[in-house]
């Protein structure tokens, strides 16, 4: 099995899984923000459930309209705050919060081998540390807050291999824009994107977070990196709990393998009106 299949199989209590298979998966962290959490909370109430499945595995970050720009956005934040206090879940208040996808790994709330879901499309960011992380709708988040499970189809995996040495000023943002420019905004539709190669080995954690974050811009379900020494150094001082590192099998199967020579890649920019319009 490849990296995403290894993680999903472990969280579904199965020896193996394959693309297209529908499985129930335990989640390690459930995320929502001040746009998506209020919808999830309302749907949670409709389920008739009194308590979330595990308060330590749910986090709410009001990072879109906080500090509040108007009464409506303040009401959104208040709804999140009240629900968090009622349920005993982690809520990042004004003054201690920042961008949700930066806070979670910095605070050690997501770790290698985790399954993370969030009511935000860029939840795929956490694949940089070897987690299976994906965005879902607010109703899915409500169900996960109640049960601790998600129901999903195992995605196929596309392996991206980056050979060579990065040129001056070329980093993770350039690699992912170059990739999206090549395959298009639907080139990895509902696929896990597994990033590897010697150029990836040399990439900083910031660069890896950037690439994983933008997997969704290619239509990806998730974007994952293997855990290496750089990952372990990043995690070492942050991890409050134990975690498992998964490795793809040597004979892992992929829907497709795409290879690039990064020595020819220049700094990239996307022109209007699509990430695929990279130059």
My answer on whether 103 and 122 are in the same domain is yes
Residue 175 belongs to some domain of the structure? yes
181 φ, ψ (degrees, to nearest 5) = -60, -30
- Residue 68: predicted pLDDT: 86
Residue 214 belongs to some domain of the structure? yes
- Residue 165: predicted pLDDT: 96
Question: At residue 97, does pLDDT exceed 80?
Answer: no
* pLDDT per position as a tens digit, 149-193: 999 999 999 999 999 999 999 999 999 999 999 999 999 999 999
Provide mean pLDDT across the span 126-155: 97
Residue 269 belongs to some domain of the structure? no
Q: Residue 110 maps to which CATH number?
A: 3.30.499.10
Residue 82 belongs to some domain of the structure? yes
What's the domain range around 206?
157-239+246-264
Question: At residue 79, does pLDDT exceed 90?
Answer: yes
Residue 107 belongs to some domain of the structure? yes
Nearest to 152, CA basis, from 16, 13, 19, 15 = 19
Give the Cβ contact number of residue 189 at 10 Å: 14
| Count of the separate structural domains present in the chain | 2
Residue that finishes a domain, picked among 92, 123, 153:
153
Residue 16 belongs to some domain of the structure? no
Task: Report the predicted TM-score, pTM, of the whole model to 2 decimal places.
Answer: 0.96
User: Which of 11-15, 72-76, 140-144 comes out lowest in average pLDDT?
Assistant: 72-76
My answer on whether 201 and 230 are in the same domain is yes
- Residue 51: predicted pLDDT: 98
Nearest to 152, CA basis, from 37, 41, 5 = 5
Residue that finishes a domain, picked among 153, 183, 212:
153
* pLDDT per position as a tens digit, 111-124: 999 999 999 999 99
Q: Residue 223 maps to which CATH number?
A: 3.40.1060.10
């Amino acid at each position: 099995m490849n990296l995403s299949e290894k993680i999903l199989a472990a969280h579904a209590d199965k020896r193996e899984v394959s693309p297209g298979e529908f499985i129930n998966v335990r989640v390690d962290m459930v995320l929502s923000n001040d746009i998506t959490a209020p919808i999830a909370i309302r749907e949670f109430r409709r389920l008739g459930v009194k308590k979330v499945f595990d308060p330590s595995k749910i986090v709410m970050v009001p990072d879109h309209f906080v500090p509040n720009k108007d009464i409506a956005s303040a009401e959104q934040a208040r709804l999140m705050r009240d629900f968090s206090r009622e349920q005993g879940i982690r809520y990042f208040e004004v003054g201690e919060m920042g961008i949700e996808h930066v806070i979670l790994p910095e605070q050690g709330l997501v770790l290698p081998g985790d399954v993370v879901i969030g009511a935000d499309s860029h939840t795929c960011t956490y694949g940089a540390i070897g987690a299976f992380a994906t965005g879902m709708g607010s109703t899915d988040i409500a169900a996960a807050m109640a049960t601790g499970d998600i129901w999903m189809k195992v995605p196929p995996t596309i392996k991206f291999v980056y050979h060579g040495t990065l040129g001056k000023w070329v980093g993770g943002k350039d690699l992912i824009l170059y990739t999206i420019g090549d395959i298009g905004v639907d080139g990895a539709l509902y696929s896990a994107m597994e990033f590897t190669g010697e150029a990836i080995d040399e990439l900083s954690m910031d660069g890896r977070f950037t690439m994983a974050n933008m997997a969704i811009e290619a239509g990806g379900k998730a974007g994952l990196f293997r855990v290496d020494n750089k990952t372990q150094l990043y995690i070492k001082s942050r991890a409050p709990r134990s975690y498992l590192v998964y490795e793809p099998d040597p004979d892992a199967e992929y829907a497709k393998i795409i290879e690039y020579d990064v020595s020819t890649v220049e700094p990239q920019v996307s022109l209007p009106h699509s990430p695929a319009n990279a130059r």
